[in-house]
Structure 1
Amino acid sequence: MEKDVILLHLLLLFNLLERYFLKMQSKYGHKDVMIWRGSSTGDFTVQSAYHIEKDRHMFSQGESSNISVFNQLWKRLWSLQVPNSTKMFIWRACHNILPTKDNLLRKGIDLDPACVFCKTVPETEVVEMFFVLCSPEEVDFNVEITRRIWFRRNSVVHGGDFFHPNDVLSSATTAIGDYKGALESDISLREPEGTSLSSRILNWCPPSIGFFKANWDASINSKKGILGFGCVVRDVHGFVVAALSYSVIVMGNLEVAEALAALHTVEFCRNQGFNSIILEGDSLIVVNAINRVGLNWSFLGNIILDIQTLLREFLYWKVCYTPRGTNIAAHSLAKEGVIQGGNRIWLGCIPNCIKTIDLSECSSLVF
Structure 2
Amino acid sequence: MYFAILGKHPQISLAELQKIKPTFYPSSKKGIVIFETEIPEGLKLLGGSIKTGKVVAEKDLQTLLQEVKIIGIQEEAIGKHFKRTIGIRRFKTVKINHTDKEIKEKGKEIINLDNGKYGIVEQYQNIPLYESIDFEKPGRSMSMGMMPAKLTHILINIGIQATTIIQNEPITIYDPFCGSGTTNFLANILGYNTVGSDINITYAQKNLPWRQATPFYNQDTSIDFFTHDITKPIPNNISNGSIIITEGRLGPIITKRSNPDDVRKAQQQIQKLYTDFFTNIIKSDLFPTIICTIPRYIGYDNTHEQLLQTTINSLGYDRKSISEIYQREDQQVGRKICIVTKKGKK
Per the TM superposition, whether the score is higher than 0.5 is no
TM-score by length of 1: 0.22
Bigger radius of gyration among the two: 1
TM-score by length of 2: 0.23
Q: Which one scores higher on RCO, CA 8 angstroms, separation ≥ 6?
A: 1
More helix by share: 1
